[in-house]
Amino acid sequence: MQGKKLNIGVLGCGPIAQFAHFEACQKGRNVALFAICDKAVDLVQQMEMMWKPVKTYLDYATMLEDPEIDAIIIATADALHVPLALQAIHAGKHVLIEKPLSHSLEECIELEECAERNEVVVQVGHMKRFDEGIAYAKKFVDKTLGEIVALKAWYGDNTHRYTMTDNVQPIPFKSTMAVKPISDPKADPERYYMMAHGSHLLDTAQFLAGSIGSVQAHLRTIQDIWCWFIDVEFASGAVGHLDLTIKIRGDWHEGFQVYGTGGSVFAKTYNPWFYKSSEVQCYSEDEKVSYSPLAADGFSYRLQLEAFADVIMSGDPMLGTSIREGTEITRGMIAIHQSIQDGKRVYLDQLKATAI
């Protein structure tokens, strides 16, 4: 497939497709927005006018029969991710699935087995790995930082975030015909915030410091502020602290620090809709010098899609979140919930539940 563009079919014309995926397909150096699909006919018509895909579909199974489509982006509600991804894999398509991968470990395992059997590429849409600042920090951690001693990471969504993002995002088109999952994903805020935001935090932590062995979590809620403080032990022996706080009275607050035997990393991450890469400072103890990349390209959703296409077309290594890593994130979220319920440290290989 060298030299060709990967033909993408986007399933779902909801907000995330409108804000990120259509534009990423249109601007990506090695991809083409070939098809879009949604059961909501008004959304499809509107998006066809705006983004000019080659084809449109109202029925997913029919889109999957199209031999010209190489890969599917699944941009639907969380609960639908895995069943729809399985359908795509059975049709021989590669899949980029929006995050979080799934609420259930059984689903994750079924997906991994199915992807392996069918030899397709499946990547989970944790696009922060493609924030050029975070990507630079990861290379520095691997090459220069030495053994990781500790990682602190924080993700604070704020009360004013929509005041800020409404100014830079288009007004999304909505449809009363849109398919919704059986239960309202926002009905339980503890679960919803963990799935929507905590999954990003766990991905950043394990991207930089490897898999998590155990967690001891505390949750404080007051006046609609949700604050998780999570003590982490990584499998490597590194210690960690994760802070997930929703509705901070203040600005968006995201970043991380990593301490290693050969240096340290300090990072400030911006809300992704500002298209500004993280500011990172990577200090090397050998050189007594800090490095801070410009990281000019801040469209992480496009960068993740280009990297996904490079895996498929050029056999490049997968830089994005694999199914196995997506599964570990689900395991981590279940462990955090269990730790809050039981008031104890929870080891990720000794969970009582298999779903969150």
Ligand X SMILES: NC(=O)c1ccc[n+]([C@@H]2O[C@H](COP(=O)([O-])OP(=O)(O)OC[C@H]3O[C@@H](n4cnc5c(N)ncnc54)[C@H](O)[C@@H]3O)[C@@H](O)[C@H]2O)c1
Asked if 337 is part of the footprint of ligand X (rule: CB under 6 A), the reply reads: no
Nearer to ligand X, 172 or 250 (CB): 172
54-93 residues near ligand X, rule: CB under 6 A: 60, 75-78, 80, 84
Asked if 239 is part of the footprint of ligand X (rule: CB under 6 A), the reply reads: no
Distance separating alpha carbons of residues 257 and 241, to the nearest angstrom: 10
Nearest residue to ligand X on Cβ basis? 14
Q: Residue 213: count other Cβ atoms within 10 Å of its Cβ.
A: 17
Distance separating alpha carbons of residues 40 and 329, to the nearest angstrom: 31
Cis-peptide into 100, omega within 30 deg: yes
Nearer to ligand X, 101 or 334 (CB): 101
Please tell me the chain's helix, strand, coil percentages from 3-state DSSP, rounded to the nearest 5. Answer: 40, 30, 35
What type of residue sits at position 277? S
Nearer to ligand X, 18 or 245 (CB): 18
346, 150 in Cβ contact below 8 A? no
Could you tell me the smallest distance in angstroms from the CB atom of residue 354 to ligand X?
20
**Binding residue for ligand X, selected from 24, 31, 37, 258, defined by CB under 6 A:** 37
Nearer to ligand X, 160 or 344 (CB): 160
**Binding residue for ligand X, selected from 33, 43, 71, 312, defined by CB under 6 A:** 43
Nearer to ligand X, 89 or 238 (CB): 89
Element (H, E) at 57: strand 55-57
Could you tell me the smallest distance in angstroms from the CB atom of residue 302 to ligand X?
12
In DSSP notation, 314-326 reads: H-PPP-SB-HHHH
Nearer to ligand X, 80 or 239 (CB): 80
Sign of CA dihedral 155, 158, 161, 164: negative
Stretches 36-44, 151-159, 243-251, 332-340: which one binds ligand X (CB under 6 A)? 36-44
**Binding residue for ligand X, selected from 109, 150, 164, 179, defined by CB under 6 A:** 179
Binding residues for ligand X, how many (CB under 6 A)?
A: 26
Nearer to ligand X, 17 or 151 (CB): 17
Asked if 298 is part of the footprint of ligand X (rule: CB under 6 A), the reply reads: no
Asked if 246 is part of the footprint of ligand X (rule: CB under 6 A), the reply reads: no
In DSSP notation, 92-148 reads: T-EEEEESS--SBHHHHHHHHHHHHHHT--EEEE-GGGGSHHHHHHHHHHHHTS-SE
Cα distances (angstroms) measured from residue 65 to each of 42, 57, 89: 23, 11, 12
Under DSSP, the state recorded for 80 is G
What character string, x for contact with ligand X (CB under 6 A) and - otherwise, covers 148-177? ------------------------------
Q: Which residues lie near ligand X (CB under 6 A)?
A: 12-17, 37-40, 43, 60, 75-78, 80, 84, 98-99, 125, 127, 178-179, 196, 272
